[in-house]
Structure 1
């Protein structure tokens, strides 16, 4: 596995950890902890999405010669995640724990499915198609 892809997978695990912390905070009912956990999750996801959307996806699209296909599906799912996060922030502001928990449950399922597709389908395709993949992904954290 390439170093850059390993970093993206590590980012996915960081998002999973942040999501777990948010779920734990929700069960505890401490709104300050919930707010902090949601902010961490948003930051983790933002970093991952930025790396994928600004570097990996364009490099893959150049390599295969079109922008449709798996990267368009992944971008669409990123947008779905952003909408869920926007909704979660609204429920947080309203301090509606039940609605926030339901939103996070939906987010958990979407992210699990999304990461499986990236890690088992898109990333191997990128390794096979993108020349100098590690150079493309150099410096992502």
Structure 2
């Protein structure tokens, strides 16, 4: 059974790969394929956020009593990421390569820093304080 860190870090890598595919397709002007790939990227990224916001963060906060700490920052960054995903989607609909790639670059900077904080700080804290198999099972059930 995976620990929380391994499970969610693998999802980060999967989402990164999905985004890289979208970016490549947009760069090549393959709009139909890019739109399909973007839908998958968006779906997986938002599902990952949902797992954290509906399962992981509440479990961590309930167990540790820490509610104004890392989970609050992660939720704020999820909101910023959702806003950037929405802007990328609009650029994609307009077939605006320059706008898509520009917003995409901002998104990647945000998400890489965000993921690093989760992977190096929050997830290990969760593995330390929570029943990892139980939490992973709950996230899988969403």
Please, what TM-score do these two structures have when normalized by structure 1? Answer: 0.92
Query: Are 1:7 and 1:140, in contact at CA under 8 Å, matched by a contact in 2?
Result: no
Tell me the equivalent position of 2:126: 126
- Measure how far apart 1:34 and its partner are: 1.5
Number of aligned residues: 140
TM-score, length-scaled by structure 2: 0.91
CA contact (8 A) 2:4 2:126 kept: no
Deviations 1:11-70 (A, max 9, x none): 111101101101111111111011112111101101211111111100110111132110
* 1:43-102 superposed Cα distances (whole Å, 9 cap, x missing partner): 110121111111110011011113211000000100001000111111112221101110
Gaps of 5+ in 1: none
Q: Which consecutive residues of structure 2, in runs of 5 or more, have no partner in the other structure?
A: none
1:136 aligns with 2:117: no
Q: Whole-Å Cα distance in 1 between the matches of residues 93 and 24 of structure 2?
A: 18
Could you say which residue in structure 2 is the equivalent of 1:10?
A: 10
Q: Find the aligned partners of 2:126 and 2:63 in 1 and give their Cα distance.
A: 9
Q: 1:91 to 1:39 in 2, by over 3 A?
A: same
